[in-house]
Structure 1
Amino acid sequence: MKFSFFHLMPYTHLELESHDWPFPNRYFDPAKASALYKTYVESMIHAEGCGFDWVGCNEHHFSPYGMMANCNLIGGALAYPTKRVKIAMIGNLVPLNNPIRIAEEYAMLDCMSGGRLVAGLMRGIPHEYLAYNIPPGESWERQREAVQLIIKAWTEPEPFGWEGKHFQYRQVSIWPKPMQKPHPPLVISASNADSAKFAAEMRATMGMVLLADLPSGKECIRIYKETAKANGWEPTAENVLVGMHTCIAETDEEARRSMAHGLKYFDQVLMGGLQASQRIVLQKTRYFENEESRDRWKSRLDKRRTLTLDEAIERGTVLCGSPETVVKQIKRIHSELGHGVFNFTVKVGTLPDEVIRRGMELFRDRVHPHVRNL
């Protein structure tokens, strides 16, 4: 079993009120953000000594939800202070960006880290498309084309041209190339049937960075494995990444108190405006290719507003408790899903950084020894 230390890098100095997306940046204090970046990166570096196999973050725009307009900058900050841990960029929002730029920056990170990059090629959540003026209805076409172009840019030894529907380049020959051959391991978001099929077709690890619930996760994994078999390969457990909000403390009571505090800010401030904007995108565009996927996403948004901490733990979307309790929760989720990578989102809203740091040490000393061989 592998464990990933994943950081959303939220901005945590706001009042408990919701704003429509995009969040007005008059509330942003650069000095406070500078201190947050330093604390967050230091925690990510510290994760290497606490039993984690991966450390990473992702990309978001126009919101305090996550201050990573370019997660590759964080990857560069992690490359030299760490020596063993995988640099997991999960990841770049492929349909929104220049795919050649992604290929180049990922190749740089792979060389800088000595071949430790995990390359996330993610589609992103609905409202992100409004930030870069990309029609959400083009998301799937752009995702498929961009992923194929990135892989070719990494693996083609001679200059080539590309004339696709959404991307055109007269000449492509990237410098540097990645260290890992034929290319760094891929993670593709797979939180619905269509994305699970695409991840399998690309022979990528399927990534459910924040699990919706155990039944839907199990169904996506089933579809992923069936599609992989139909495409002539068989995924291992480590080809399935499952993530959840995580808080480990000395006692269940302390962990629950800290998680409840963090979730209040996460739900009211960080997610409040995002949910409304996502509903608008889902209603007015073809971000999803079929109504079933769209309705499931809308249901997930609706359910989140009323979900209690106990319900979230039962659904498998939260790990919370003492080391002994978290060991039991990890084993239960693993027995249901059979995956090989746990992705711990550790900075949940305003969950205190000192609680996170102590939780990392508890994970190292009292959780990891009991679950690393699952």
Structure 2
Amino acid sequence: MQVFVFDWTAYAENVDKFRKDGKLTRLGKEHFEPQVAIDTFRNHVSAWVELEKQGFDGIAINEHHGTPFGLGNSPNLMAAALSQLTEKIKILVYANLLPIHEPLRLAEEIAMLDCMTGGRLICGVGRGAPREYKIFNVPMDESRGRFNEGFEVMRRAWTQDSFSFDGEFYKFNDVAIWPRPVQQPHPPVWIPLTGSKESIEWAAENDAAITPGVFPGPMREDTIRYFAKCQAKHGRKVDPNKISIMVDCYVADSKDQAIDEYGDHLMYLFNTLLRYDQVWQNEVKKTKYYSSTAFEHLREGAKGTLAEDGTVFNEWDIDTVRGAAQNMPLGTADEIVERITAECDDAGANNVLLVINRGDMPHGKYMNQIKRIGEEVLPRLQAHNVTVVPHAQGEVLAK
């Protein structure tokens, strides 16, 4: 099994100090501390280098804008920096947000990164959160169309000697990019699936690797079932090597110790970072970001998807942490290995994305987790091999 660490590169200092009357207003120039940002980038890059030393298979970095939740405004820049400091570890950009960017430029950057990494790049693509559309003034009604056209432009740029494209949003005539990707026909494509039917269909059509759902349960199971059905139409079976799950974990000498050491960071994540300057679903539902049939393949509809604010936007206190921790891989190394392998077996995922540094975790604690997981957990996870996708069984391949 491949083991990645997913790192949001959160602003290193807790911004709750800027609350007034309990409320956190939009952060501006007066709140930004350059040295904190400098330290954030430097410390995270050093942590990613340590991941390679410890033998992790990959690092995953992503894109967000205008928020202390993550300073990955351009994950491609961070991937470029890391490419020159490492030799083996895979770099998963998870993900470039296609609808808010010019796709030819992205195709060129990804080709460059594939060269700079010597073919270690994994190209993650996504539509992005509603707040990104607000920032870049891109109509959410255009999200799906821009995503589909954007990737098609990228695919043609990578695979054709020269290409032309005449779409609703993008038009190109006789373009040939240089340099070209190292990996052929292009770097592996991964996509996070958070519920919508059209994204699952797109993933199957393009034979992309998927991360199905935020949490285990019906939504993830139904996503995998529908993905298998769509893959079968293209004459393919679902491969465990093309499924990943994301899990929070924290290794300690006991469950109580893990809660004591990690709990504050989880509460800061849910109570501050995830909620900061958010666009809520009552506004999203006024747009066509989700189609009218987006969740008809799910037995519980939109429940458990990111189309419901309650999926992730909840107030947490220490009792919430204690309750959640009972079913999370927080605690001893043995418990972490047992819980993660069981969840991977259930999902049929032979890749796992570990989240080990939520919120304002100090750099020293993050590095300690990398080393402890590297020594006590990583070898056992990598030795585990998932060969079956239980929720994909029974789909008949197209002839």
Asked if these proteins are the same fold (TM beyond 0.5), I'd say: yes
Contact 2:195 2:294 in 1 (8 A): no
Are residues 1:71 and 2:94 paired?
no
Give the structure 2 partner of residue 309 of structure 1. Answer: 321
User: How far does residue 299 in structure 1 lie from its aligned partner after superposition?
Assistant: 6.7
User: What letter is aligned with 1:285?
Assistant: T
Contact 1:258 1:351 in 2 (8 A): no
Gaps of 5+ in 1: none
Contact 2:94 2:124 in 1 (8 A): yes
Give the structure 1 partner of residue 352 of structure 2. Answer: 342
Contact 1:221 1:240 in 2 (8 A): no
User: How far does residue 251 in structure 1 lie from its aligned partner after superposition?
Assistant: 3.0
Equivalent position to 1:19, from 20, 24, 29: 24
Q: 1:220 to 1:274 in 2, by over 3 A?
A: farther
**Structure with max Cα Rg:** 2
Size of the aligned set, in residue pairs, is: 368
Equivalent position to 1:283, from 271, 281, 285: 285
Contact 2:58 2:89 in 1 (8 A): yes
Are residues 1:54 and 2:64 paired?
no
Q: 1:135 to 1:184 in 2, by over 3 A?
A: same
Give the structure 2 partner of residue 88 of structure 1. Answer: 92
Contact 1:206 1:239 in 2 (8 A): yes
Are residues 1:127 and 2:139 paired?
no
The SS at the match of 2:238 is coil
RMSD: 2.1
The SS at the match of 1:187 is strand
Provide runs of 4+ in structure 1 moved above 6 Å. Answer: none
Map residues 72-221 of structure 1 onto 2, 5 A cutoff.
72-157=76-161, 159-194=162-197, 195-208=199-212, 211-221=214-224
Map residues 3-42 of structure 1 onto 2, 5 A cutoff.
3-13=3-13, 14-15=15-16, 17=19, 18-19=23-24, 23-42=27-46
% identical equivalent positions: 27
User: What letter is aligned with 2:268?
Assistant: Y
- Determine the C-alpha separation between the residues in 1 that align with 2:128 and 2:160: 27
Give the structure 2 partner of residue 365 of structure 1. Answer: 375
Are residues 1:272 and 2:256 paired?
no
After alignment, is 182-191 or 266-275 more displaced?
A: 266-275
After alignment, is 245-254 or 321-330 more displaced?
A: 245-254
The SS at the match of 1:177 is coil
Q: 1:254 to 1:320 in 2, by over 3 A?
A: same
Q: 1:314 to 1:343 in 2, by over 3 A?
A: same
Q: 1:105 to 1:350 in 2, by over 3 A?
A: same
Q: Deviations over 1:348-368 (max 9, x none)?
A: 012232222112122222112
Richer in helix (by share): 1
Q: Deviations over 1:204-249 (max 9, x none)?
A: 10134x7233332222122112211111222311101211223223
Contact 1:54 1:85 in 2 (8 A): yes
User: How far does residue 27 in structure 1 lie from its aligned partner after superposition?
Assistant: 1.6
Q: Deviations over 1:300-325 (max 9, x none)?
A: 4224315623554566xx53222112
- Determine the C-alpha separation between the residues in 1 that align with 2:307 and 2:118: 43
Q: 1:343 to 1:298 in 2, by over 3 A?
A: closer
Contact 1:108 1:177 in 2 (8 A): yes
